[in-house]
């Protein structure tokens, strides 16, 4: 029988995924040739042009009422829990202990088709967990109107949908489906999917993949899961399944070996990132697992029925970005955490200069092994090189951060300023590139905010260093891109950055009230008082641990925003309005430990600078603060 013709302008899902020309027959020539199921996205049953104004108004009212209902349910649920620590999104973990829930509905075909394409374009290239051809068969099965094979498969499909939504901006959600982003996230059914699959009591590779997608991408959901709280669940399930032991020693199939390796190393990454957020050392020790890195192989080289392992080869594959990320996280463990952690893992204990040298050597190795294959290779190649440039600068930012042990590099302010400028300029360039927008959810937002906040502090504390406005312009560009990009309103650092920016503008207006007047020549920005003030503002991160844990060696903290990526410098606070005990700020230390010797000196970042006076931190206050941090 001859292939059935499809309406012009529509390509099948497989051709769209491979970004190749489709002949628009059913089945199409490509799918016939490679022997895969040929599926087309469902056509719209309603023509938007035929909807009357009144119908549109009613649809808008219905959406509004649905959102109100969701808020009411959340409010009632919160009231019923009282002082319980578990949130609505955390409570799913107990569903498996109750009676088996009713069979979950499957995602609507039109929405699933769109979200699957979003996942393939925006998540899979930079977060390799699943085997796309295998999962695509399950997606096609649901699109054709059949039930998913089992609860585990449906759970993974819902996790894919949830992950795809987290990478979209609120405006994209409204434009594509006419519904708000919070409402779409709330209706993703992913938590109920875990309950029906019996997780965590009953788990398999498929559900563990879904759980990792939920934890990683959920960090871009303001009401998403607490990755730190649930990381232990992921580790315990992985250990129970033996994922920490390399499959090659367990006589498993080559395909299963590769999938287990992907899963374990994603857990490894999550362990490091959540540890950084909490100011703790990672849980996993190198001596406790034998699982090797996945092969540098694309999904097309893997098949569940394969009998021979894929050949390791250099060059760019679908796995290269994720492999490079595994490598940089593994290296970060050697320079970011405490000496005790390094000793427990047989890492060398290095001083700051040695860490800086190690970072430089690692950067060269990363370039040779991975990044060189991405140069000039389209939008993803450009994004990859820029992403890892920022990641390397983020490492430098952490290891050169002022510490309470008094160990500093020579000319620390110049070093730190230059690192922050490179991060701000590179992040600005990358966020301006529209071709990379789909992957920008992976950028380490906390590192950008760290660098941005430091430059803003420079402008507040010594605004005359920027008489020509170049520094302020660079900071303003990144500030605007962050403000108008992904939804970061709930990021615990963001409201402090907004506050600092407001004070930068106030300070400049008071310094140069007449923008047309001649401005003075730039003074030396590296004066002693300026250096001490800037360093003291950022030593707060270590100081909070010295005050809270006096007998504990401090560890570096920084979270590349995955979401648990929330480093706590002196500019942090809990996004839910609760201040953790460990979050002792610079303001509190100055205000309670040593009285200010100058009545005109500000006692908090909130007074830096005020609306009526310029920032006037006296050197006496700075020296007192510095002394506290050194002797605590």
Q: For residue 543, what are the domain limits? A: 446-631
pLDDT at residue 149 greater than cutoff 60: yes
Residue 610 pLDDT greater than 80, yes or no: no
The pLDDT tens digits for 397-406 are: 999 876 655 5
H/E stretch holding 542 reads helix 540-548
CA distance 274 to 283: 10
pLDDT tens-digit profile of 216-228? 999 999 889 999 9
More confident residue, 203 or 111: 111
In a domain, 603, yes or no: yes
558 Cβ contact list (under 8 Å, min separation 6)? 276, 336, 394, 397, 398, 446, 447, 450, 565, 567
80 within domain boundaries: no
Mean pLDDT of the 616-632 span: 35
Per-residue H/E/C for 578-611: CCCCCCCCHHHHHHHHCCCCCCCCCCCHHHCCCC
533 found inside a domain: yes
Helix axes of 378-399 and 320-336: crossing angle, nearest 10 degrees: 0
Q: Is 71 among the domain residues?
A: no
- Asked, for residue 23, whether it belongs to a domain, the answer is yes
Query: Which residues, 6 or more positions from 607, have their beta carbon under 8 angstroms from its beta carbon?
Result: none
The CA-based diameter of the chain, rounded to the nearest angstrom, is 92
DSSP assignment of 416-453 equals: HHHHHHHHHHHHHHHHH-GGGGGGGGGS-HHHHHHHHH
For residue 27, what pLDDT is reported?
86
Residue with more model confidence, 326 or 4: 326
pLDDT at residue 596, rounded to an integer: 31
Does 19 score more than 70 pLDDT? Answer: yes
Q: What average pLDDT does the chain have? A: 75
According to the model, what pLDDT value does residue 516 have?
A: 39
| 625 vs 466 pLDDT, higher one | 466
Q: What is the C-alpha separation between 605 and 254, in angstroms, rounded? A: 56
- Confidence (pLDDT) at 541: 39
Ranking 16-20, 136-140, 172-176 by mean pLDDT, the lowest is 16-20
Residue with the larger pLDDT of the pair 5 and 338: 338
Average pLDDT (252-270) is 97
In 3D, which of 486, 453, 468, 477 has the Cα closest to residue 586?
453
Residues 6+ apart with CB under 8 A from 9: none
Span 161-183, average pLDDT: 92
Highest mean pLDDT pick, 155-169, 442-456, 550-564: 155-169
Q: What is the pLDDT of residue 93?
A: 31
Residue 550 confidence (pLDDT) above 50: no
The answer to which of 69-78, 431-440, 484-493, 527-536 has the lowest mean pLDDT is 527-536
The answer on pLDDT for 298 being more than 70 is yes
Rounded CA gap, 406 and 365, in Å?
Answer: 31
Q: Is the per-residue pLDDT at 629 higher than 90?
A: no
Angle at 501 between CA 495 and CA 506, to 5 degrees: 130
Considering Cα of 563, then 568, then 572, then 574, what sign does the dihedral take?
positive
- How far is residue 195's CA from residue 184's CA, in Å, rounded to a whole number? 20
* Strand pairing report for 4-5 and 25-26: antiparallel
* Residue 549's pLDDT band (cuts 50, 70, 90): very low
Give the SS3 label for residue 278: helix
Lowest mean pLDDT among 100-109, 181-190, 417-426: 100-109
Percent of the chain clearing pLDDT 70 (strictly above): 66
In the prediction, which pLDDT does 370 show? 94
**Residue 272 in domain:** no
User: Is 623 a member of any domain?
Assistant: yes
Q: Which pLDDT score, from 0 to 100, does residue 577 have? A: 33
Joined together, the tokens standing for residue 307 give 């009998």
- Lowest mean pLDDT segment, chosen from 311-320, 393-402, 422-431, 491-500: 491-500
**Domain count of the fold of the chain:** 2
394 sits in the region (left: phi over 0; alpha: psi -120 to 50; else beta) called: alpha
DSSP 146-170: PPPSSHHHHHHHHHHHHHHHHTS-H
Residues 42-63 have pLDDT tens digits of 765 444 444 455 566 666 666 6
pLDDT tens readout for residues 374-383 = 876 799 999 9
Whether 542 is in a domain gets the answer yes
Is 330 buried (19+), middle (13-18) or exposed (0-12) by CB count in 10 A?
middle
Going by pLDDT thresholds of 50, 70 and 90, the confidence category of residue 148 is very high
Instruction: Specify the pLDDT at position 600.
Output: 40
């Amino acid at each position: 029988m001859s292939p059935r013709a499809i309406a012009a302008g529509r390509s099948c899902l497989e051709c769209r995924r491979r970004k190749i020309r489709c002949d628009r027959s059913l089945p199409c020539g490509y799918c016939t040739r490679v022997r895969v199921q040929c599926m087309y996205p469902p056509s719209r049953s309603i023509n938007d042009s035929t909807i009357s104004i009144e119908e549109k108004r009613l649809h808008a009212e219905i959406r509004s009422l649905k959102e109100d209902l969701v808020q009411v349910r959340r409010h009632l649920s919160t009231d019923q829990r009282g002082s319980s620590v578990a949130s609505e999104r955390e409570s799913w973990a107990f569903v498996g202990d109750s009676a088996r829930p009713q069979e979950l509905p499957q995602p609507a075909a039109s929405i699933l088709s769109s979200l699957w394409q979003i996942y393939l374009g925006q998540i899979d290239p930079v977060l390799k967990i699943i085997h796309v051809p295998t999962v695509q068969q399950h997606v096609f099965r649901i699109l054709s109107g059949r039930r998913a094979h089992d609860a585990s498969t449906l759970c993974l499909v819902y996790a894919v949908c949830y992950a795809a939504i987290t990478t979209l901006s609120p405006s994209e959600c409204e434009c594509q489906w006419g519904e708000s982003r919070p409402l779409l996230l709330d209706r993703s059914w992913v938590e109920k999917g875990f309950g029906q699959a019996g997780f965590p009591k009953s788990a398999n590779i498929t559900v563990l993949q879904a759980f990792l997608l939920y934890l990683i991408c959920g960090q871009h959901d303001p009401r998403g899961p607490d990755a730190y709280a649930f990381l232990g669940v992921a580790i315990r399930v992985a250990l129970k399944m033996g994922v920490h032991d390399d499959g090659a020693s367990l006589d498993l199939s080559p395909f299963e070996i590769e999938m287990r390796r992907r899963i374990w190393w994603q857990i490894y990454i999550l362990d490091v990132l959540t540890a950084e957020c909490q100011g703790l050392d990672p849980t996993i020790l190198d001596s406790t697992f034998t699982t090797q890195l996945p092969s540098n192989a694309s999904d097309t080289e893997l098949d569940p029925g394969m009998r021979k392992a894929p050949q390791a080869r250099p060059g760019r594959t679908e796995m290269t970005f994720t492999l490079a990320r595994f490598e940089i996280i593994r290296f970060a463990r050697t320079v970011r955490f405490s000496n005790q952690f390094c000793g427990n893992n047989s890492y060398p204990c290095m001083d700051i200069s040695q860490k800086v040298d190690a970072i430089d050597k690692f950067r060269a190795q990363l370039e040779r092994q991975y990044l060189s294959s991405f140069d000039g290779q389209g939008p993803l190649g450009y994004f990859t090189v820029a992403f890892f440039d920022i990641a390397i600068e983020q490492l430098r930012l952490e290891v050169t951060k002022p510490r309470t042990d008094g160990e500093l590099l020579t000319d620390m302010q110049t070093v730190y300023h230059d690192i922050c400028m490179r991060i701000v300029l590179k992040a600005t360039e990358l966020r301006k590139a529209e071709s990379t927008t789909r992957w920008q959810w992976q950028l380490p937002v906390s590192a950008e905010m760290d660098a941005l906040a430091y430059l803003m502090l420079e402008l507040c504390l010594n605004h005359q260093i920027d008489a020509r406005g170049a520094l302020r312009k660079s900071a303003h560009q990144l500030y605007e891109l962050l403000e108008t990009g992904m939804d970061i309103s709930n990021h615990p650092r963001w409201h402090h950055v907004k506050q600092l920016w407001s004070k930068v503008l106030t300070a400049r207006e008071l310094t140069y009230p007449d923008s047309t007047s001649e401005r003075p020549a730039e003074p030396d920005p590296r004066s002693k008082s300026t250096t001490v003030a800037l360093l003291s503002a950022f030593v707060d991160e270590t100081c909070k641990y010295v005050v809270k844990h006096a007998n504990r060696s401090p560890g570096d903290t920084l979270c590349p925003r995955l979401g648990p990526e929330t480093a706590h410098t002196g500019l942090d606070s809990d996004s839910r309005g609760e201040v953790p005990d460990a979050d002792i700020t610079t303001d509190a230390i100055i205000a309670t430990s040593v009285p200010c010797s100058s009545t005109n000196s500000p006692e908090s970042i909130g007074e830096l600078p005020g609306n009526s006076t310029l920032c006037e931190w006296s050197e006496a206050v700075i020296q007192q603060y510095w002394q506290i941090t050194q002797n605590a």
